[in-house]
C-alpha cells in the first residue's frame, strides 16, 4: 500500500498501525505522535491502515492536539465523578474552543465550587495510575446493554442506525460512548483546571432535565496552563458587566430582563458608534432606511420566519389580527424595495438600517450585552443581479476589513451551509454556496466549512473576530438569499424588458450594536480610544475658588470645537479627583491651576502615562482633533 505523507510517498507490503508507520519514519516521531489524520479524518494513533492513504501525524505542536487532550480530560473528569458518585449518569462531554465541559446528572446531589477541588484531586490520582485508554467497537445491541443504567447515553444510542458500529473508550473501570480519538493513557493528562459549574438542559431543550455542567481546561505544559489562568483573571477585570457599571455605561432592570438601559455616557458612546457607521455606509453607496418594529403575522408567514422562528418571537393580539415584534429586519427592507419598480440599471440597491429587533432568549442564557432580548442590528439588505454577487461580496469584505482594523480585531471566515430546516431547492442552495465560495476566495481570504449552520433561507459567510484576550466572537455575516425575494414577488426590469427576480444579500458588520459594544469594552478594558470615548477630557481645577471660572472657559472652548469634556467641580481633594479620573479611564486629564490661568495654557496627562505636558490650548485642541479625525 502507498502512504502519502507531507513531503513524500512510502510503500508498505502489509497493513500497519499508524504509530508503526511513524516509527518507520523516525523513532522520535513515533514517540511524539498522539493521533493521526487519515484521509483528513482524525483517528487514534493505533488505527490500522490497510489501504492507500494520506497521513498526517499529530503531535503536541499541532492545533488538533489541544482538542484531543481536552476531550480526553473530559473523560478523566467523568471517570472521577463516577468513582465519587457511582449513581451519576452522563450526557455529553465535548472539547470546546478553550477547553472542555461535561454534562451529568447525580440524583439528589448538587455540586458546589468547593467540590471542584475534590474532583481535581481524584483526577490527579487517576492520571498518576497511567491507565491505558482503549477503544472498542460494539454493536448497537451491545452498547444498549452496557449503558442500560444511563438514560442519557441510552437515548443517544437508540437514535443510531441498527447496523451502525459504535465505538467505546475505556480507562480502568470507566467506559464511555465516544467517537474519539483520545490520548493513549491517563498519565498524559497532567496540567488541567476545573473552572466553573453551570446548569444545562439535556440536549438544550428546556422541557428536559436540567443537568449539571462542569467547565475545565487542559494543557500539555504547566506553563501553558498558568498563562491561560492568568488570561482568565485578566478577563474578569475586563468583564463588560463590571466595567459597564463602573464607567456608568448601561444598566438592566428587573422589569425588562435582557433589555439594556443606556445611561448618558453609554448612550454617547453608542451614538458615536452609530455616527461612524452611518457616515461609512453613506460613503459606500447605501441608502439608510428605518422600518416598523412590529408587523402583521402574514408578513412573517410569507417570509418563512413564522414557521422557523415563531417560538423566539414576541407577539401581540389586536382586533385586526396578530402582530409580531420583528426578530429580523429583512422583510421590512423588502417592503421598501417593493415600494417602486426598479430597473437593472439601479442594481445593486443597498438598504442599510440600524434596526431594533427582539428575540425571546431563555432567562438562563441572558448575559449582559452579549445575550439580550432586545438589540440593534446594523443590517443591510442589497438587492442585485446574480452576475453582481462576486463584486458585491468583495466590496462587503473590504468594508469589513476596514471596520475591524479600526478596532484592532482580527478575524477568520466560516462558510455556513444548508441547514436541515431550509426553504427552496437543493439546486439553488448548491449554486448559492458556490457563489459565496468563489466570491470569498476572489478577495484572497480563506475560509473553513461550517456544515449545516446556514440561515433557513440561504448560506452565509460568518466572520469570527479574535479580541485582545484571544477569544473568538461571531459578529459580521454575509448571507446570500435566493429565496425571500421570490416569496415577496420582488422584480426588476431586465435589459430585454422582462421582469426578473433579484438576489438579496443580508449583511451586518457589528452583528448587534449591544454585543459589539460589550466586545470592545472588554477588548479595550474600558479604556476606549479618544474618538469613541464618551468623555474625552476631564478638567480638574486645582481650587474651585480660584480656578473654576477659568476652567469653565476652557470647557466652553473645547466643547464649541466638538470635544466631549466635563469638569470635576466636587469638593474633594485634588489627589482624589486625579485618581477618580484615572479610574474612569478618561483619555485625557487636564489639571488647571495658577500657571494655566495666567498664561492660558493646558497641562494634560494621557491615560496610562505619568508624564504631564504643558501646551497652548490651541495645540491641545489640534492634538485632540487630529486623533479623532484619524479614529485614534
Q: Say which residue, 336 or 411, is predicted with more confidence.
A: 336
Q: What is the mean pLDDT of residues 115-121?
A: 96
- The share of the chain scoring above pLDDT 90, in percent, equals 68
User: Considering 506, 515, 547, 585, which one is annotated as catalytic?
Assistant: 506
Q: What is the mean pLDDT of the chain?
A: 92
pLDDT of residue 41: 84
**Ranges in the chain annotated CATH 3.30.930.10:** 250-291+327-523
Confidence class of residue 540 from pLDDT cuts 50, 70 and 90? very high
Q: Say which residue, 611 or 14, is predicted with more confidence.
A: 611
379 is catalytic: yes
pLDDT tens digits for range 412-435: 899 888 888 787 888 888 888 888
User: E strand or H helix at 316, and its extent?
Assistant: strand 315-318
- The share of the chain scoring above pLDDT 70, in percent, equals 100
The three cell numbers of residue 234 are 485578566
330 is catalytic: yes
The three cell numbers of residue 493 are 426590469
Whole-number Å distance between alpha carbons of 33 and 29: 6
Q: Is the pLDDT of residue 469 over 80?
A: no
Give the distance from CA 410 to its chain's centroid.
12
Helix (H, G, I), strand (E, B) or coil at 366: coil
Whole-number Å distance between alpha carbons of 543 and 608: 25
User: Considering 178, 330, 490, 565, which one is annotated as catalytic?
Assistant: 330
Q: What is the mean pLDDT of residues 146-160?
A: 92
359 is catalytic: yes
381 is catalytic: yes
**Ranges in the chain annotated CATH 3.30.980.10:** 64-226
pLDDT of residue 209: 92
User: Considering 75, 228, 240, 381, which one is annotated as catalytic?
Assistant: 381
pLDDT of residue 379: 93
Q: Is the pLDDT of residue 386 over 80?
A: yes
Q: Is the pLDDT of residue 1 over 80?
A: no
Beta-bridge partner residues of 16: 49
Tracing cell 420582488 back to the chain, one arrives at: 490
Whole-number Å distance between alpha carbons of 98 and 73: 13
Q: What is the mean pLDDT of residues 370-390?
A: 93
pLDDT tens digits for range 50-90: 888 888 889 999 989 999 999 999 999 999 999 999 999 99
pLDDT of residue 390: 86
The three cell numbers of residue 99 are 477547553
User: Domain spanning 537-629: which superfamily?
Assistant: Anticodon-binding domain (3.40.50.800)
Q: Is the pLDDT of residue 308 over 90?
A: no
pLDDT of residue 628: 96
Hey, what CATH class is 250-291+327-523 in? Answer: alpha beta
Q: Is the peptide bond before 295 cis (omega within 30 degrees of 0)?
A: no
pLDDT of residue 440: 84
Confidence class of residue 271 from pLDDT cuts 50, 70 and 90? very high
pLDDT tens digits for range 317-351: 999 899 999 999 999 999 999 999 999 999 999 99
* Backbone angles phi and psi of 607, in degrees to 5: -55, 135
* Backbone angles phi and psi of 529, in degrees to 5: -65, 160
With vertex at residue 506, the alpha carbon angle to CA 505 and CA 510, rounded to the nearest 5 degrees, is: 135
Q: Is the pLDDT of residue 160 over 80?
A: yes
In order of 123, 506, 509, 627, the CA distances from 353 in angstroms are 52, 11, 12, 28
> Angle 617-629/544-560 helices, nearest 10 degrees?
40
In order of 3, 171, 559, 564, the CA distances from 8 in angstroms are 9, 36, 69, 64
**Residue 176: count of CB within 10 angstroms of its CB:** 23
User: Considering 82, 153, 359, 547, which one is annotated as catalytic?
Assistant: 359
The three cell numbers of residue 220 are 500539555
Q: Is the pLDDT of residue 235 over 90?
A: no
Q: Is the pLDDT of residue 364 over 80?
A: no
Whole-number Å distance between alpha carbons of 353 and 333: 8
What's the chain's Rg over C-alpha atoms?
A: 29
pLDDT tens digits for range 477-522: 998 888 889 999 999 999 999 999 999 999 999 999 999 999 999 9
pLDDT of residue 314: 94
Whole-number Å distance between alpha carbons of 174 and 68: 18
Q: Are 623 and 587 in contact (CB under 8 A)?
A: no
Whole-number Å distance between alpha carbons of 465 and 411: 4
pLDDT of residue 12: 79
What is 64-226's CATH number, 2.60.40.2220, 3.30.980.10, 3.40.50.2000, 1.10.1040.10? 3.30.980.10
Q: Is the pLDDT of residue 260 over 80?
A: yes
Q: Say which residue, 267 or 419, is predicted with more confidence.
A: 267
**Ranges in the chain annotated CATH 3.40.50.800:** 537-629
Confidence class of residue 442 from pLDDT cuts 50, 70 and 90? confident
Q: What is the mean pLDDT of residues 520-530?
A: 95
Polymer length in residues for the chain:
632
CATH 3.10.20.30 is right for the domain spanning 2-58: yes
Amino acid at each position: 500500500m502507498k502512504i502519502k505523507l507531507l513531503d513524500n510517498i512510502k510503500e508498505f507490503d502489509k497493513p500497519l498501525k499508524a504509530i508503526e508507520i511513524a516509527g518507520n519514519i523516525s523513532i522520535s516521531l513515533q514517540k511524539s505522535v498522539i493521533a493521526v489524520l487519515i484521509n483528513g479524518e482524525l483517528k487514534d494513533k493505533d488505527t490500522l491502515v490497510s489501504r492507500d492513504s494520506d497521513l498526517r501525524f499529530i503531535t503536541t505542536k499541532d492545533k488538533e492536539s489541544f482538542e484531543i487532550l481536552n476531550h480526553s480530560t473530559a473523560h478523566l473528569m467523568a471517570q472521577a465523578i463516577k468513582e465519587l458518585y457511582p449513581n451519576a449518569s452522563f450526557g455529553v462531554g465535548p472539547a470546546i474552543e478553550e477547553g472542555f465541559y461535561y454534562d451529568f446528572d447525580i440524583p439528589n446531589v448538587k455540586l458546589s465550587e468547593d467540590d471542584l477541588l475534590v474532583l481535581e484531586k481524584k483526577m490527579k490520582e487517576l492520571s498518576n495510575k497511567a491507565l491505558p485508554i482503549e477503544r472498542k467497537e460494539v454493536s448497537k445491541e451491545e452498547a444498549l446493554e452496557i449503558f442500560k443504567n444511563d438514560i442519557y447515553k441510552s437515548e443517544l444510542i437508540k437514535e443510531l442506525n441498527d447496523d451502525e458500529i459504535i465505538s467505546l473508550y475505556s480507562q480502568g473501570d470507566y467506559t464511555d460512548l465516544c467517537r474519539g480519538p483520545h490520548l493513549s493513557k491517563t498519565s498524559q493528562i497532567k496540567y488541567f483546571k476545573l473552572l466553573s459549574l453551570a446548569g444545562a438542559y439535556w440536549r438544550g431543550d428546556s422541557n428536559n432535565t436540567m443537568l449539571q455542567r462542569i467547565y475545565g481546561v487542559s494543557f500539555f505544559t504547566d506553563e501553558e496552563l498558568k498563562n491561560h489562568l492568568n488570561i482568565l483573571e485578566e478577563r474578569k477585570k475586563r468583564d463588560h458587566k463590571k466595567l459597564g457599571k463602573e464607567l456608568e455605561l448601561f444598566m438592566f432592570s428587573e422589569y425588562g430582563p435582557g433589555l439594556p438601559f443606556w445611561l448618558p455616557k453609554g448612550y454617547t458612546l453608542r451614538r458615536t458608534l452609530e455616527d461612524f457607521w452611518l457616515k461609512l455606509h453613506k460613503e459606500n453607496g447605501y441608502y439608510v432606511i428605518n422600518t416598523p418594529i412590529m408587523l402583521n403575522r402574514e408578513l412573517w408567514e410569507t417570509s418563512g420566519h413564522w414557521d422557523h422562528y415563531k417560538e423566539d418571537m414576541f407577539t401581540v393580539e389586536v382586533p385586526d389580527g396578530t402582530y409580531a415584534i420583528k426578530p429580523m429586519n429583512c422583510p421590512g427592507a423588502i417592503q421598501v424595495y417593493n415600494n417602486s419598480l426598479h430597473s437593472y440599471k439601479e442594481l445593486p440597491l443597498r438598504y442599510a438600517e440600524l434596526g431594533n429587533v427582539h428575540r425571546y432568549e431563555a432567562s438562563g442564557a441572558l448575559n449582559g450585552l452579549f445575550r439580550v432580548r432586545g438589540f440593534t442590528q446594523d443590517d443591510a439588505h442589497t438587492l442585485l443581479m446574480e452576475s453582481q454577487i462576486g463584486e458585491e461580496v468583495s466590496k462587503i469584505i473590504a468594508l469589513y476589513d476596514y471596520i475591524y482594523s479600526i478596532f484592532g480585531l482580527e478575524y477568520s471566515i466560516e462558510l455556513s451551509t444548508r441547514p436541515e430546516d431550509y426553504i427552496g431547492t437543493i439546486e439553488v442552495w448548491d449554486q448559492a454556496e458556490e457563489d459565496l465560495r468563489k466570491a470569498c476566495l476572489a478577495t484572497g481570504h480563506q475560509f473553513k466549512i461550517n456544515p449545516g449552520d446556514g440561515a433557513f433561507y440561504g448560506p452565509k459567510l460568518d466572520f469570527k473576530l479574535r479580541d485582545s484576550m484571544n477569544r473568538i466572537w461571531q459578529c459580521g455575516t454575509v448571507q446570500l438569499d435566493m429565496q425571500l425575494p421570490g416569496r415577496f414577488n420582488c422584480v426588476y426590469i431586465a435589459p430585454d424588458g422582462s421582469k426578473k427576480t433579484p438576489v438579496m444579500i443580508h449583511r451586518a458588520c457589528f452583528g448587534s450594536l449591544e454585543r459589539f459594544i460589550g466586545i470592545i469594552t472588554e477588548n479595550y478594558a474600558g479604556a476606549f480610544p479618544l474618538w469613541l470615548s464618551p468623555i474625552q477630557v476631564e478638567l480638574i481645577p486645582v481650587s474651585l475658588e480660584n480656578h473654576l471660572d477659568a476652567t469653565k472657559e476652557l470647557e466652553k472652548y473645547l466643547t464649541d470645537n466638538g470635544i466631549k469634556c466635563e469638569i470635576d467641580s466636587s469638593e474633594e481633594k485634588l489627589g482624589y479627583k486625579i485618581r477618580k479620573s484615572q479610574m474612569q479611564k478618561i483619555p485625557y486629564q487636564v489639571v488647571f491651576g495658577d500657571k494655566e490661568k495666567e498664561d492660558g495654557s493646558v497641562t494634560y496627562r494621557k491615560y496610562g502615562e505619568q508624564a504631564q505636558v504643558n501646551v497652548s490650548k490651541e495645540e491641545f485642541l489640534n492634538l485632540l482633533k487630529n486623533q479623532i479625525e484619524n479614529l485614534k
